[in-house]
């Protein structure tokens, strides 16, 4: 009788254990920066060759540059390693595509304002070191007031590789030439939170604003103006940052560059 009971009980215990493990195991969080990836065992191609890069303002002379990582007004609160000058670099192919975006939006009365473009690997390494120090919360009130810094790694806000380092990604917004100020996007660059998601408050593909959205119709529409122009000229968005776009046909999809940001 005992043996029969044991034969019935063991599978039930194993099944219960599996269920418990599934419930208790940490769930993989969705990355808020899917252009970045955590380190793995795959070899990474690094390069200090900058011959296929251009100064973005040579291609788009009226682009406004506010290179946040050259300044101290960023989520770290210090100038980031590798930013030697407040300029923006991109691969020539990406810069030419962004020029087409600029030409279209200029006819509507807008100029591009660039926060970041190419980002050297040493800058990403700087972010990683900063994120690993829980005591450094200098800029918490400005960029991540609702987050404990210890979640930045597991939730994917900071990772060890970035699409920016491949040279065909840009962070930007729009400047309205008629009112001489930035468009109100209902959120600021590098805000760590769901408010930065393109679908926050509505569906960016259909252009439908939720009735209970905290974004105003104007703010939601301003995001769409930027997004639609970028998509029309070969860029792809990510689902966590309204300001971030990568050229679909990026010329160096597997290469991470190491040269510093400075005038070429």
Decide: 243 and 104 in contact? Cβ < 8 Å.
no
Q: What is the pLDDT of residue 76?
A: 98
Instruction: Categorize the per-residue pLDDT at 44 as very low, low, confident or very high, splitting at 50, 70 and 90.
Output: confident
> What is this structure's pTM?
0.85
Query: Helices marked H in the chain — which ranges?
Result: 2-24, 56-59, 92-106, 121-131, 140-143, 217-232
Within 8 A by CB and 6+ apart from 130, the residues are 76, 136, 158
Over residues 161-197, the pLDDT tens digits come to 999 999 999 999 999 999 999 999 999 999 999 999 9
The tokens for 245 are 């776009």
Q: Does domain 43-257 have CATH number 3.30.1380.10?
A: yes
In the predicted structure, residue 96 carries a pLDDT above the cut 70: yes
What Å distances lie between residue 248 and 91, 159, 230, CA to CA?
A: 13, 21, 11
- Among residues 195, 241, 249, 250, the one annotated as catalytic is 241
pLDDT-derived band at 215, boundaries 50, 70, 90? very high
In the chain, domain spans: 43-257
Give 7-47 as a 3 state SS string: HHHHHHHHHHHHHHHHHHCCCCCCCCCCCEECCCCCCCEEE
Supply the mean pLDDT for the chain.
88
**241 assigned to active site:** yes
């Amino acid at each position: 009788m005992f043996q029969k009971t044991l034969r019935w009980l063991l599978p039930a215990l194993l099944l219960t254990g599996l269920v418990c493990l599934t419930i208790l195991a940490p769930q993989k969080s969705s990355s808020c920066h899917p252009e970045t990836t955590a380190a793995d065992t795959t070899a990474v191609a690094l390069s200090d060759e900058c011959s296929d890069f251009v100064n973005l303002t040579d291609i788009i002379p009226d682009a406004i540059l506010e290179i946040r990582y050259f300044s101290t007004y960023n989520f770290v609160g210090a100038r980031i390693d590798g930013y030697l000058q407040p300029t923006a670099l991109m691969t020539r192919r990406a810069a030419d595509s962004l020029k087409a975006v600029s030409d279209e939006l200029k006819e509507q009365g807008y100029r591009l304002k660039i926060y970041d473009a190419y980002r050297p690997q040493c800058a990403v390494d700087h972010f990683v070191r900063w994120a690993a120090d829980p005591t450094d919360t200098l800029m918490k009130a400005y960029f991540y007031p609702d987050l404990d810094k210890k979640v930045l790694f597991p939730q994917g806000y900071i990772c060890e590789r970035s699409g920016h380092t491949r040279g065909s990604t840009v962070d930007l917004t729009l400047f309205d030439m008629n009112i001489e100020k930035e468009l109100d996007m209902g959120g600021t660059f590098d805000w760590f939170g769901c408010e930065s998601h393109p679908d926050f408050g509505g569906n960016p593909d259909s252009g439908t604003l939720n009735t209970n959205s905290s974004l105003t119709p104007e703010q939601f529409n301003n995001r769409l103006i930027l997004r639609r122009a970028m998509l029309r000229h070969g860029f792809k968005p990510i689902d966590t940052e309204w300001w971030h776009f990568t050229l679909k046909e990026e010329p160096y999809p597997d290469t991470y560059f190491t040269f510093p940001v400075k005038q070429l």
